[in-house]
């Protein structure tokens, strides 16, 4: 199946999930997880109307961002784990970083963003167990959030997670619900608004939308299996 056909199918499924849960389609961003995909495939997704792309590796992302720099309405997000020695480039090239998860990384982002006179948008990645080596543990989330609030050049817009994989997407629901709860707790404790929940991937994005996702990160269902 072509990217275009996949894209149309995903669109329908997103729309239905929104309708089921009484949400508006505009509340959910379809972000194409384009790691390992060539520029030609990214363009196929672009011509279906997708404007948000998520890359996992800084270097691979930069190559595509450079190659597509004439497409000025593309929003590039960094969704993979970030090493401190890559922060300089991440801040230069990416609109949003989904994987902020430790103070050392926060310090480096603040330093680089400050030098570039940029306010870096980001999400805090929460770790729900063995599936991902990235993310802050639930019990340390509040402390990390409080720490970031002291930084002038980082704006946290919400939370992101990669929950454990389950055959049945229904089994992921409690993790999505938990992430939403953690976000609402932060909003209440710190009297702030956090508009984003980045959760849901190819096999579970509908459940994620039902539980409040505002960004779904979809790779395989859109592009096919990664090579």
Ligand X SMILES: *Cc1c(COP(=O)(O)O)cnc(C)c1O
Q: Is 196 in the site for ligand X (CB under 6 A)?
A: no
Task: Pick one of 10, 29, 33, 172: the residue that binds ligand X (CB under 6 A).
Answer: 33
Quick one: which of 96, 162, 209, 215 contacts ligand X (CB under 6 A)? 162
Q: Which of 44, 56, 120, 214 binds ligand X (CB under 6 A)?
A: 56
Shortest distance, position 219 Cβ to ligand X, whole Å: 3
DSSP state of 128: -
Kindly provide the residue ranges of all beta strands, DSSP E only, lying in the chain, ordered along the sequence.
Answer: 29-33, 52-55, 75-78, 96-100, 120-127, 136-137, 154-161, 196-198, 215-218
Q: How far apart are CA 52 and CA 32, in angstroms?
A: 6
Give ∠ CA 29-97-223 in degrees, rounded to 5: 50
20 vs 156: CA distance, rounded Å: 29
In the bound complex, what is the minimum distance in angstroms from residue 198's beta carbon to ligand X?
A: 8
Please list, in sequence order, all residues whose beta carbon lies within 8 angstroms of the beta carbon of residue 94, skipping any fewer than 6 positions away: 55, 61, 76, 77, 78
| Closer residue to ligand X, CB minimum distance, 151 or 180 | 180
Identify the residue among 13, 23, 35, 75 touching ligand X (CB under 6 A): 35
**Is residue 201 part of the contact set for ligand X (CB under 6 A)?**
yes
Whole-number Å distance between alpha carbons of 29 and 209: 10
Nearer to ligand X, 135 or 151 (CB): 135
Per-residue mark of binding to ligand X, 72-91 (x: CB under 6 A): -------xx-----------
Positive or negative, the CA dihedral 166, 18, 192, 98 is positive
29 binds ligand X (CB under 6 A): no
Task: By CB under 6 A, name the binding residues for ligand X.
Answer: 33, 35, 56, 79-80, 162, 201-202, 217-221
């Amino acid at each position: 199946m072509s990217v275009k056909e996949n894209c149309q199918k995903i669109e329908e499924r997103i729309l239905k999930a929104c309708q089921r849960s009484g949400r508006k389609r505009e509340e959910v961003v379809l972000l194409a997880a384009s790691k390992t995909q060539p520029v030609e495939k990214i363009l196929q997704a672009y011509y279906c109307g997708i404007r948000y792309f998520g890359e996992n590796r800084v270097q691979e992302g930069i190559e595509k961002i450079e190659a597509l720099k004439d497409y000025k309405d593309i929003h590039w997000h960094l969704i993979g784990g970030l090493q401190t020695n890559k922060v300089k480039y991440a801040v230069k090239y990416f609109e949003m970083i989904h994987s902020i998860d430790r103070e050392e990384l926060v310090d480096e982002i603040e330093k680089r963003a400050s030098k570039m006179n940029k306010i870096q948008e980001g999400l805090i990645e929460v770790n729900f167990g063995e599936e991902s080596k990235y993310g802050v543990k639930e019990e340390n989330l509040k402390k990390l959030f409080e720490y970031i609030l002291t930084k002038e050049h980082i704006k946290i817009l919400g939370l992101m997670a990669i929950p454990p994989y389950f055959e049945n997407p229904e089994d992921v629901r409690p993790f999505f619900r938990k992430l939403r709860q953690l976000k609402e707790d932060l909003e209440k404790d710190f009297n702030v608004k956090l508009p984003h929940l980045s959760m849901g991937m190819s096999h579970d994005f509908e459940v994620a939308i039902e539980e409040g996702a505002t960004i779904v990160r979809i790779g395989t269902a859109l592009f096919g299996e990664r090579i």
